[in-house]
Structure formats: structure tokens, C-alpha cells
Amino acid sequence: MGLTLKEELLDFFLVPSGILLMLGYHLFHLHRCLHLPNTTIIGYENHNKKAWVRRILEVEAKDRGQALTVINGNISAAISLASISLALSSLIGAWIGSASHNIFLSSNIYGNKSSTAVYIKFITLLSCFLVAFGCFVQTASCFVNANFLISMPNCEIPTSHVENAIIRGSNYWVIGLRSLFFASNLLLWIFGPIPMFVCSVITVVVLHNLDRNTTPLPNFTKTPASHHSKESGKEMTTVTSANDHRQRSEMDGAEHQAST
């Protein structure tokens, strides 16, 4: 009886501590993203994406095939992760409705092994996968909208509209990935509160190193080479037009002499 009570208290202490640790870190990271975006990798990537959108919209619509390829790659990745999240959600839902989860009531698992605790584990895990599924679907939707805007011909597209679609899709992508990180922690909770808490600590340490940015934001100014290539292209077009005009003049003169 005393050992069982000790295991239940371990669940009540370590599991909320791990969840609060993850939530606290993400609130801290959200504060940095809103007030100090230059110090986060999310702010760095958003800065690059805004510059990418501005440069893409300077190109004619018929020459934006490379940009559409990049966006389509992101759409494919988002749809793949959404499909995986939905499949795992369906699997967990079927698992909850069946009696095959008795393996998690085994004595080899150190922690609360009551049926109520097992159902709470599955429901919280299912919630994380459903949130991830919704976020990845929204990611694909935002990128599809950006795809339509970029490929629109003979129209002046406001840069802010495309930027908002790209940034919003990227933000949904980040939230979906963070939901999967939470799901990974809760997945280890099935095997006991100690693995879940250890995974929470390791995840926070790894994310803190990955989310930090020390690279200065680039300016993305136009290079002289690109300007020189444009001028060279204009000169080549002028020379070609002059040659064509001269050839037509010579042909007209030859026809006039032949007629006389």
C-alpha cells in the first residue's frame, strides 16, 4: 500500500513539473519572439522569408516558377505531417476504445497504473496530435493562398498580403512541431513519470540551444552583378533590335532595286 501511494505521488509531482517546465520555456520563448525577434531563430527565418517575398514579387509572374516550387515543397511537407498526426490520432482513439491497453497496467511500469491515469495519458496524447494536425492543415492552407497570390498574372500584388500568408503558415508550422514535441513527452509518460520528466528536461535544453540566434540579420541588398547583368541584357536587346532594323532596311533596299 505504501509503495503504491508513493508511485501515485511520483506521478502527481513529476508529471505536472515536466508539463510546467515545457510550458514555461515556451512562454519565455514566445516573449523573446515578440519583443526580441532578432535573438530567436524564428525571427531570423521570418526576416529571411520577408526578404524572399519582396525579391520574388519584383520578378514577373511568368518567371516565378522557382518560388512556386519552394512553396509546393512546404505544402507537401505540411500535408505529410498532417497525415501522420491524423493517423496517430486515429490509432490512439481506437486504442482508447479497446481493451488492448492493459499492457500499460503492467507491474513493470513505475507510476500510477490505474485505469483513470491510463485514460488521461491517452487523451492528453490524442489532444496534442489533434492540435498538430490542425496546425499543419492551416500551414498548407496559408501556403496555398500564398501560391495563388504569387502566381497571379498582370496584377500588382501588395507585398504585405504575401508576407502575411507566408509568415502565418510558418507560425502554424512551428506550433504544429511544438505540439509533436509535447506529444513525445506525453508518449513517454505512458511508461512512467520518470521518463516523461527526464524527456521534458532534455527537450527544454535542446530547444533552448536550437531556438537561440546569434547571427546578425542580413540586409539582402541587390548585388552590383545583378544590376550589371540587367544593364547588359538591355544593351544586348538594343543591339539585337538595331541589327534587325538594319537587316530589314537592307532587304527593303534590295527589293526596291530589283523592282526598278
- Give 166-215 as a DSSP string: HHHHHHHHHHHHHHHHHHHHHHHHTT-HHHHHHHHHHHHHHHHHHHB--S
Q: What is the pLDDT of residues 197-232, one digit of tens each?
A: 999 999 999 999 999 998 888 887 776 654 444 444
List own/partner pairs for 226-232 with CB under 8 A and 24 or more apart: none
pTM over 0.85: no
Same domain, 60 and 97: yes
Q: 69-118, pLDDT tens digit by residue?
A: 999 999 999 999 999 999 998 888 777 766 555 555 555 666 666 777 77
Farthest CA pair distance, the chain? 122
Q: Which residue range is the domain that position 148 belongs to?
A: 2-221
Are 117 and 241 in the same domain?
no
3-state DSSP percent of the chain in helix, strand and coil, to 5: 85, 0, 15
Residues 176, 247, single domain; the answer is no
pLDDT in the model for residue 81: 96
Residue 163 has φ and ψ, to the nearest 5°, of -60, -45
The count of structural domains within the chain is 2
Average pLDDT score over the chain: 82
Residues 199 and 235 both lie in one domain: no
Please give the pLDDT value at position 237: 47
- Residues 50, 105: one domain? yes
**pLDDT level of residue 254 (50, 70, 90 thresholds):** low
